Amino acid sequence: MKGYVNHNIGVIIMKHKNINVTLCIMVLILCIYGTYLYSQQMFKSNEFIQTDISPDRLQFMPVTEDFRNYFVLQCIGNTVSVLIGDFTGTEKLISLAKDTNGDGKADEVYEYFPEIKKLTTPFKPTTAFYKNIDELKKDIISGDIFTVNYAYKMYSLPLLKAKLKTGRDVYRFKHGYSVKMYDPDAPTTIAGEFFFGKNEGKYDLIFTTYYYKLYRTKISPPLSYSVYCKDTTDKYIAEIVEELLKMVE
């Protein structure tokens, strides 16, 4: 009795293998493309922090998937801006308050609601995190606002001062000093950095957090900057920078 070989089964199996390989390739491409888009969005958002934040840029600011909030202080020239990503309320919103004359009060207020893609201009910020610009300025620089709220834990002033006292990883750079925060588990990897300096009567103060670790989990904030002050004449920033300069000079 002759054995019967079902060649159709082999063909079907090969087709299934080809389909599975094709699906795997498509999923891989989508993952790579998704990662690329996310990295481009992060780059664009961080780039926007380096120049005066305008209301039309709020739509490009990140909306966190884990509902963590973020807070950014920006001082460019005479203008002080506070950016708040509020994602723990009933409505997700991105709030921007600007003090354009140095009196500590919000002269311009803009709020963007990403879920309905709407930009508003309320009399004062509606986010519960807003107090006043001067208080937020101090809380962001000190890091207090990150510890008492559900937010990304950004490298802040106490850590910078502690680092300066050790004298390690402090480098002279242009008209100021750069301070690197290396990952203790990967000593050549920079997890964050600081910069402070003075140039022609104007001050720079920049706090950058690329990632931090929560137990063994690496967490990268969607915005690397928590403080970005460039060529500012703000008195409070000037006091802090002068204090930091005394610690290294």
For 222, the token pair is 């969607």
For 66, the token pair is 């884990």
Residue 43 has pLDDT above 50, yes or no: no
Residue 66 has pLDDT above 60, yes or no: yes
Q: How confident is the model at residue 14 (pLDDT cuts 50, 70, 90)?
A: low
Of 71, 74, 72, the C-alpha closest to 51 is 74
Contact 71, 129 (CB under 8 A): yes
Residue 19 has pLDDT above 60, yes or no: no
Q: How confident is the model at residue 249 (pLDDT cuts 50, 70, 90)?
A: confident
| Terminal alpha carbon distance of the chain | 98
Give the pLDDT score at 5. 52
Enter the pTM of the model.
0.81
Least confident of 50-54, 82-86, 175-179: 50-54
Give the pLDDT score at 215. 85
Q: What is the pLDDT of residues 108-133, one digit of tens each?
A: 999 999 999 999 999 999 999 998 99
Residue 36 has pLDDT above 70, yes or no: no
Sign of CA dihedral 104, 107, 110, 111: positive
Give the pLDDT score at 48. 74
b or e along 35-48 (b: 16 or more beta carbons within 10 Å of the residue's beta carbon)? eeeeeeebeebbeb
157-166 vs 133-142: helix crossing angle, rounded to 10 = 40
Q: What is the pLDDT of residues 176-233, one digit of tens each?
A: 999 999 999 999 999 999 999 999 999 999 999 999 998 888 999 999 999 999 999 9
Rounded to the nearest integer, the mean pLDDT of the chain is 86
Q: Higher-confidence residue: 8 or 197? A: 197
Give the pLDDT score at 20. 54
Give the pLDDT score at 41. 39
For 91, the token pair is 């409505």
Residue 26 has pLDDT above 90, yes or no: no
Give the 3-state secondary structure of the chain. Answer: CCCCCCHHHHHHHHHHHHHHHHHHHHHHHHHHHHHHHHHHHHHHHHHHHCCCCCHHHHHHCCCCCCCCEEEEEEEECCEEEEEEEECCCCCCEEEEEEECCCCCCCCEEEEEECCCCEEECCCCCCCCCCCCHHHHHHHHHHCHHHHCCCECCCCCHHHHHHHHHHCCCEEEECCEEEEEEEECCEEEEEEEEEEEEEECCEEEEEEEECCEEECCEEECCCCCEEEEEEEECCHHHHHHHHHHHHHHC
Q: How confident is the model at residue 29 (pLDDT cuts 50, 70, 90)?
A: very low
Q: How confident is the model at residue 149 (pLDDT cuts 50, 70, 90)?
A: very high
Spatial distance between the Cα atoms of 128 and 96, rounded to a whole number of angstroms? 13
